[in-house]
Structure 1
Amino acid sequence: MKPLLLAAIAGAMIAPAVSAQDMAEDTGFSGIYIGGAGGYDVQGNDVGSSILFDRNLDGRFGDTVTTATGANAFGTPAGGFCNGSTRAATSPTSAVPAGCRNDDDGWAYYGRVGADYQRGKIVVGIVGEFGKSEITDSVTAFSTTPASYVMTRSIDWEASARGRIGFTPNNSTLFYGTFGPGYARIDREFYTTNTANGFAASGKRNQFGITGGGGVEQKLGRNFSIGLEYMFHQYKDDDFRVRSGNSGTTPASNPFLLGNTSGTDFRRSDDKFRWHSMRATAAFRF
């Protein structure tokens, strides 16, 4: 027992000296590193978002879909829109949003590789990332027929290449900002309870966007560092279309066929997919 105790005391005395020597030989944040980032992604519900219609297929959205009697097929109180995915096939008569649940936040995880150069107390560098976020963003329309129409988007994967600039007061703690382009595979999906029409939709499409944020990184010895980071992501997403047409048995009096016998096109009113990330980082520095 005594040898173990003496070994522990010796280790406790030697460790600070080794750590001090590591830091004395440390070159700060200059060098190449690999690592990862993981955390939770949050998106604000897009208040006021809806589905827009091109009834005569002229490429201009914002048309009112009417029934054979001239009534608004998506008018309240029996119809309307909400910024989320539906809980039921029809909207409540008092408040449409009560029929929807909020957009889904989710976990995110990324791998990264980067390089920094330190001169004095200033650090500049580049970092590349590739990973996945589990968020989904939906909008729902309710028709008076009754039926629901849900347009949903999510992220299959995201890549980014960003510049980074920061300040270190002591060669071991770095405060930084980062910004650069992103490139993501956005998965678009459409769901409906309408069985009278036929529907055709486009699918996945890669999109360019922007990413940016900032954080703090703390070195642990010479080669390891951990940190906390906030990131903002934004992608333009305005080209997903759904066409409601003839299923083969749809009557000519169907609201989606009255403007044009070929059908009616749908698109989302909110044309930007954006979210916020709060995550932890870890890196091994060579």
Structure 2
Amino acid sequence: MKRVSLAISLILFGTMAASAADLAAHYTKAPVMAPSYNWTGFYVGGNVGGQWGSSNSNTSTVFDPFGYFADTSVTAVNAVGAQHINSSSVTGGLTAGYNWQVNNAVFGFQGDINYFGFKGSATGSAVYPCCAPVGFTVNSSVSADWLATIRGRIGVLATPNWLIYATGGAAIADVKGDFTFTDGFMTESGAIRDTRVGWTAGVGGEYAVGNGWSLKAEYLYVDLGRASMRSTNLGGVFGPFPASVFTHSADLKSNIVRVGVNYNFGGPAVARY
């Protein structure tokens, strides 16, 4: 009887040991957490690209009985003075901003300053309707060396590392315009020097490559509005004619495409499973 009891005890002990070994073999570790890029934080960066812009420059005068021009001459001068300028150039500069991330939404603000490189000129000539073959020439040039923007930005995360956004705000540039009129006997000139505040809007995409770095591509449309000035300095062989008032004006619009790199000083990555 003792031998039977001992045998049964050995069998039960072996069964329990096997069950314990089987449980150990099926032990599963907790899943490893993978880091997700955190868009929140202050960032700085640089960009390079190109701009394709235009300016509608205008030189016009008015008829005055005590002025230099006949009424038909005023019409001719104003027609030739309506000119169009195209410009394209390489742009590049620096940017800085701050992002807030809320779930899959990212919003914030940024500012940048760039070499703009807008520069162009136009010229036109015609014969006075009243006084052929005497003719006249109108010249205009418009330029803006730099462009700064202050913009809001709002976007959505297509993936944790891929941001698609819209942006808009103020555009600022120092617009310069130079204008001359001459007919061989009389000349007139005017100049515009105006720090213009206009608007800009666009779209872009930014991809986080890790360790705080991201790459971006962006399109912006810029409209700096119209600047103008008046001149009464027509003079020459026949003396001054202050009654012949000239008005000079120019607007400036541009399309900008650029790529860049940003470094985000934000907090640590957010863990996700």
2:238 — aligned with what?
251
Does the 8 Å CA contact 2:37/2:208 hold for their aligned counterparts?
Answer: no
- CA 1:232/1:138 → structure 2, altered by over 3 Å: closer, same or farther? same
**Out of 137, 140, 148, which is 1:151 matched to?**
140
What is the deviation of 1:39?
A: 0.9
**1:89 aligns to what?**
none
| Corresponding residue number in structure 2 for 1:239 | 228
State the match for 1:179 in structure 2.
168
Q: Secondary structure at the match of 1:202?
A: strand
User: Which of 154, 166, 172 in structure 2 is aligned with 1:165?
Assistant: 154
Q: Which residue of 2 aligns with 1:221?
A: 210
Provide the alpha-carbon RMSD of the alignment: 3.1
More strand by share: 2
**1:277 partnered with 2:256:** yes
Q: Any unmatched runs of 5+ in structure 1?
A: 1-20, 58-63, 85-101
CA distance in 1, matches of 2:47, 2:231: 36
Q: Larger radius of gyration, structure 1 or 2?
A: 2
Task: Measure, in 1, the Cα distance between the counterparts of 2:49 and 2:260.
Answer: 9
Pairwise CA distance, 1:110: 2.2
Alpha-carbon distance, 1:204 to partner: 1.5
Structure 1 letter corresponding to 2:262? A
| 1:263 counterpart SS class | coil
How many equivalent residue pairs? 226
- Check 1:241–1:153 CA distance in 2 against 1; reply closer, same or farther (3 A cut): farther
Partner of 2:73: 72
Alignment deviations for residues 41-72 of structure 1 (CA, whole Å, 9 cap, x no partner): 112575xx753223449xxxxxx9844xx643
**Post-superposition CA distance 1:205-238 (Å, at most 9, x none):** 1111101101111111121111111001111223
Q: CA separation in 2, counterparts of 1:129 and 1:243?
A: 39
1:151 Cα deviation after fit: 2.0
TM-score when normalising by structure 1:
0.68
Q: Distance in 2 between matches of 1:65 and 1:29?
A: 65
Q: What pairs up with 1:55-134 in 2 under 5 angstroms?
A: 55-56=63-64, 66-67=69-70, 71-72=72-73, 75=76, 80=80, 83-84=83-84, 103-134=86-117
Work out which of the residue numbers 189, 205, 209 in structure 1 matches 2:194. 205
Aligned match for 2:246, one of 260, 265, 269? 265
How big is each residue's C-alpha offset from its partner over 1:127-179, in whole Å with a ceiling of 9 and x where there is no partner? 00112211235454424233322222211222221000001122211100000
